[in-house]
Structure 1
């Protein structure tokens, strides 16, 4: 069992989960169902792609240095931590009473074209009415709730990867 949880195999798992998550978002939700992502959905995707990029580098190069592994792990953790935080905010917005939901804004493209970068982040995290809509559910869970579950699992995988990086190497015993 522990042989399956090697540093490299865990990184490959993260890459596979990134591909599955992005494929689900792009091909099923967007192309098949015709759902356009709200600003918070886009930010979640960015974090997932960041995590997957660092995991891909780790899987391909499989660095032996503990310092390099920690650096790549940190980049990956920041990506999935970002996605998780945005998903928490998104779920919170969806559970607000209707009278407390922020009004719909002009949209992310408009903000990017007209506002400084920090103001764009502020506007996105303030949320908008479109982020509070529940357009599709599966087994009673909205898309951000499903994303939050996935991201939480991926955070747990990061804990396992950290354990793999930091655990002392013991010589194998032969019988």
Structure 2
């Protein structure tokens, strides 16, 4: 059995990311779930992974380029794993140990320097510990973690696979 071309794999990974973002937007706009700061950071990680996959699809590089794109994809997935892991950890904390909630993002943009906003968003808040929706017994952070693990495995596969267009 012959494996598909790497270009096709990167395209499929990009389309998978588009489906993840589409589902996140559906949950936000149709179901009414308000994303917490770590949810926004995880969306950013999915978008980073998607951009790497789209660039690899358009570029269609030789073997070295494929490995570089695979490593970049693994970095984006690792970032997503770290943020999803942080959210899962926050969800396990007792209520009295949770960090305070943040003001609205628009207010933070006006009142805080960018470095402080990024720091606050990466640490998460009590909002990040709320579980408002599940699928098959898994909450959104756990589903995100599984998605990022799949992305990491994809990147590793691309890096380790034998040369194929």
> TM-score under structure 1 normalisation?
0.85
Q: What is the CA distance between 1:3 and its match in structure 2? A: 1.6
The C-alpha deviation readout for 1:36-70, integer Å capped at 9, x for no partner, is 2111101101111111011011112211251x333
The C-alpha deviation readout for 1:16-47, integer Å capped at 9, x for no partner, is 111110010012x0122011211110110111
Change (3 A) 1:3 1:70: closer
Residue number among 57, 60, 82 corresponding to 2:58 in the alignment:
60
Residue pairs, 1:131-150, within 5 angstroms: 131-150=128-147
User: Residue in 2 aligned with 1:173?
Assistant: none
Confirm or deny that 1:110 pairs with 2:107.
yes
Is there any run of 5+ residues in structure 1 with no aligned partner, and where? 171-175
Is there any run of 5+ residues in structure 2 with no aligned partner, and where? none
> How many residues are aligned here?
164
Change (3 A) 1:39 1:69: same
User: Residue in 2 aligned with 1:42?
Assistant: 40
> TM-score under structure 2 normalisation?
0.90
User: Residue in 1 aligned with 2:117?
Assistant: 120
Q: What is the CA distance between 1:113 and its match in structure 2? A: 2.3
Tell me which structure has the larger Cα radius of gyration: 1
Q: What is the CA distance between 1:9 and its match in structure 2? A: 2.4
Q: What is the CA distance between 1:2 and its match in structure 2? A: 4.3
Change (3 A) 1:63 1:139: same
